[in-house]
Amino acid sequence: MATSEAEKGRQDRPVLGSPGDFPDRPERRGRLVVHVVIAILCAVCAGGWGYVMWASKGNTEVFEQVVTFDVSRGDSVRITFEAYKPADRSARCRLRAMDVDHAEVGNKEVGIPPGEEHVRLTERLDTSAQATSVDVQYCYLV
């Protein structure tokens, strides 16, 4: 049986050698420590990013929801929304109107005075174009 040219040149050993081929190379120690340090750094970074994202949300003690909105007029919209907040604190909410391309065509800041915990408000926003949706972008305690 004849052997082919490819089988004659075939090696049974790794091309780059094995660790035993390099006796002067120092042993690799401390790999576990390096991996643990990297894992701790990743956990700290993830925790820090989570805190930044949580803090950027602002004070979440004000809960709001849109009840109804009317976008039938081309130059303004009406929105009725509810806000739940501590009765002894005032709040500020930003209302936003958007067009069919989700571009903002109107906005308004609304102040809610202290005194009531549950407030229902109806506001009118002037718009620069026909709006298709309205929402409460955010509310926060003042």
56 and 75 share one domain: no
- The span from the first CA to the last CA of the chain, in angstroms, equals 91
Are residue 95 and residue 108 in the same domain, yes or no? yes
**Is pLDDT above 80 for 28?**
no
Residues 40 and 90 in one domain: no
Type of residue found at 44: V
Higher pLDDT, 59 or 9: 9
**pTM flag (> 0.75):** no
Q: CA 90, CA 35: separation in Å to the nearest integer?
A: 50
Please report the pLDDT score of residue 1 as a whole number: 53
pLDDT, mean of residues 7-16: 71
Using CA atoms, how far apart are residues 126 and 73, in angstroms rounded to an integer?
10
pLDDT at 2: 57
- For residue 55, the enclosing domain spans 31-60
